[in-house]
């Protein structure tokens, strides 16, 4: 009988610890992922990220009749929507001068779809 009376408080304590251990991590030190929010790209040297940036420069050149040469991705963020949006800060050269640009590309790889949403000098 004594074990039965200890079992309920013990189960409540275990449930309490699981609940607060699972929820306190987001408030203290851990970043929670926001659905649809922009997340930093950890490795801007990743081949796929470079490919997206090169696509952005090529498309911009076609649309604006310019001749920018892609140099590197400086930083970037991605956002999962109906596909993935990439917002990249990249360096590109126009003749001798190198400048920074912000490019936004929307990609749906399962459809082999890419679209340059915006491209501007920053």
CATH architecture of 37-121: Roll (3.10)
Res 9: pLDDT: 61
Tell me the domain boundaries of the chain.
37-121
d(CA 95, CA 111): 35
SS3 string, 104-118, reads EEEEEHHHCEEEEEE
In whole angstroms, what separates CA 29 from the centre of its chain?
Answer: 19
Query: Tens of pLDDT along the chain (122 residues)?
Result: 555 666 666 555 544 444 444 433 333 333 445 668 999 999 999 999 999 999 999 999 999 999 999 999 999 999 999 999 999 999 999 998 999 999 999 999 999 999 999 999 99
């Amino acid at each position: 009988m004594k074990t039965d009376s200890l079992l309920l408080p013990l189960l409540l304590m275990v449930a309490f610890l699981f609940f607060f251990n699972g929820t306190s991590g987001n408030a203290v030190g851990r970043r929670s992922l926001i659905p649809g929010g922009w997340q930093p790209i950890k490795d801007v040297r990743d081949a796929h990220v470079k490919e997206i940036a090169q696509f952005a420069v090529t498309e911009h050149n076609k649309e604006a009749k310019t001749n920018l040469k892609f140099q590197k991705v400086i930083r970037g963020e991605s956002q999962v929507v109906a596909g993935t949006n990439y917002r990249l800060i990249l360096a590109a050269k126009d003749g001798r001068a190198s400048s920074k640009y912000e490019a936004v590309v929307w990609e749906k790889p399962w459809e082999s779809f890419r679209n340059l949403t915006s491209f501007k000098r920053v």
